[in-house]
């Protein structure tokens, strides 16, 4: 091997094994099965993960108890406070730097269209983006608020299977987004809203396709040109249609509304090879 070629080969290995530092958060609470399955899957994929999520679940149940793993943290406050604590306090402590990325979710239940304004999962992803950390909110249709202990006690329950499946899909998505070393990962001031459809009839990761979408239908808006059109499908219709389509929407982290075509295009470029067109 030529010396230069060898040097380049060594450098790319160093880059590949240089684990990316992630903060993981949600709004269902730090002890819910979905976030723990996501934590397991991201760690197994080689990411360096610190979890920082609310102490209470959405029903207000206090889930504070001691974790032996210091990378699993609860914050007795709102999701936005939990992610802020992760970024501002835990990341310097564990990573010695800002996190490379924030994963919010997967949420128990979809967060679609104008409904995202009420979502703590989307809110936490927006907060990360506004602090300059690239982020994505993930939500899944098939899920229930059950304890992480059920992942082991009932590994074949619908909740456990969905939690494992969605977490596998999330790893694929994050790996794709972070694959290029070009920075920034995402344009400033935006976050992504990803929604997974029901696992019914979509039981394997390979069954899923990813579709680039907009938040709300708007026939007068001009979107990024893709799939032979400059009108993106709206995420609700994509997640609800038959087949196994996950939606990917770029949203303004301040207004939680759709962004312009150029901003959509910058994100779409990073997802080349992952997103596909809807069948006509």
Ligand X SMILES: *[C@@H]1O[C@H](CO)[C@@H](O)[C@H](O)[C@H]1NC(C)=O
Question: Which has the closest alpha carbon to 26: 63, 69, 48, 58?
Answer: 58
Of 4-12, 144-152, 156-164, 223-231, which part binds ligand X (CB under 6 A)? 144-152
The two tokens of residue 103 are 């994963």
Q: In whole angstroms, what is the distance from residue 87 CA to residue 26 CA?
A: 14
User: Containing H/E element for 249?
Assistant: strand 245-252
Task: Candidates 1, 3, 17, 65: give the one binding ligand X (CB under 6 A).
Answer: 65
User: Containing H/E element for 258?
Assistant: none
Provide the minimum distance between the beta carbon of 134 and ligand X in the complex, in angstroms, as a whole number.
13
Provide the minimum distance between the beta carbon of 215 and ligand X in the complex, in angstroms, as a whole number.
9
Is there a contact between 223 and 232 (Cβ–Cβ < 8 Å)? yes
Of 13-21, 141-149, 174-182, 265-273, which part binds ligand X (CB under 6 A)? 141-149
Q: Is residue 76 involved in binding ligand X (CB under 6 A)? A: no
Q: Is residue 160 involved in binding ligand X (CB under 6 A)? A: no
Q: Which is nearer to ligand X, 202 or 215 (CB)?
A: 215
Task: Candidates 126, 190, 238, 244: give the one binding ligand X (CB under 6 A).
Answer: 190
Task: Candidates 239, 259, 268, 274: give the one binding ligand X (CB under 6 A).
Answer: 259
Is there a contact between 266 and 180 (Cβ–Cβ < 8 Å)? no
Give the number of other Cβ atoms within 10 Å of residue 201's Cβ.
10
Question: Which has the closest alpha carbon to 13: 1, 21, 5?
Answer: 5
Provide the minimum distance between the beta carbon of 237 and ligand X in the complex, in angstroms, as a whole number.
16
Q: Is residue 254 involved in binding ligand X (CB under 6 A)? A: yes
Radius of gyration for the alpha carbons in the chain, expressed in angstroms and rounded: 18
Question: Which has the closest alpha carbon to 173: 279, 54, 76, 38?
Answer: 38
DSSP tag of 111: -
Provide the minimum distance between the beta carbon of 187 and ligand X in the complex, in angstroms, as a whole number.
6
End-to-end Cα distance, the chain? 48
Q: Is residue 221 involved in binding ligand X (CB under 6 A)? A: yes
Provide the minimum distance between the beta carbon of 209 and ligand X in the complex, in angstroms, as a whole number.
27
Of 1-9, 218-226, 234-242, 270-278, which part binds ligand X (CB under 6 A)? 218-226
Q: In whole angstroms, what is the distance from residue 42 CA to residue 204 CA?
A: 18
Of 62-70, 125-133, 151-159, 192-200, which part binds ligand X (CB under 6 A)? 62-70
Give residues in contact with ligand X (CB under 6 A).
Answer: 29, 31-32, 57, 59, 61, 63, 65-66, 145-147, 187, 189-190, 218, 220-221, 252, 254-255, 259, 263
């Amino acid at each position: 091997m030529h010396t230069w070629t060898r040097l380049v080969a060594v450098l790319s290995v160093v880059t590949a094994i240089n684990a990316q530092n992630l903060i993981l958060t949600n709004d269902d609470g730090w002890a819910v099965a979905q976030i723990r399955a996501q934590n397991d899957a991201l760690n197994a994929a080689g990411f360096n993960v610190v979890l920082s999520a609310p102490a209470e679940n959405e029903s207000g149940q206090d889930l504070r108890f001691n974790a032996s793993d210091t990378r699993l943290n609860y914050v007795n406050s709102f999701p936005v406070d939990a992610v802020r604590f992760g970024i501002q306090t835990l990341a310097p402590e564990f990573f010695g730097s800002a996190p490379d990325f924030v994963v919010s979710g997967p949420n128990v239940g979809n967060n679609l269209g104008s409904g995202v304004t009420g979502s703590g999962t989307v809110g936490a992803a927006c907060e990360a983006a506004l602090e300059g950390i690239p982020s994505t909110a993930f939500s899944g249709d098939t899920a229930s608020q059950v304890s992480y202990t059920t992942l082991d006690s009932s590994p074949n329950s619908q909740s456990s299977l969905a939690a494992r499946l969605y977490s596998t899909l999330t790893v694929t998505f994050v790996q794709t987004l972070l694959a290029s070393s070009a920075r920034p990962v995402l344009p400033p001031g935006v976050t992504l809203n990803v929604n997974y459809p029901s696992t019914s009839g979509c039981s394997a990761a390979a069954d899923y396709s990813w579709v680039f979408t907009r938040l709300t239908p708007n026939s007068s808006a001009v979107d990024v040109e893709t799939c032979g059109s400059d009108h993106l499908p709206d995420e609700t219709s994509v997640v609800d249609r038959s087949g196994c389509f996950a939606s990917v929407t770029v949203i303004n982290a301040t207004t939680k509304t759709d962004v312009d075509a150029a901003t959509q295009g910058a994100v779409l470029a990073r997802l080349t090879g992952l997103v596909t067109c809807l069948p006509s």
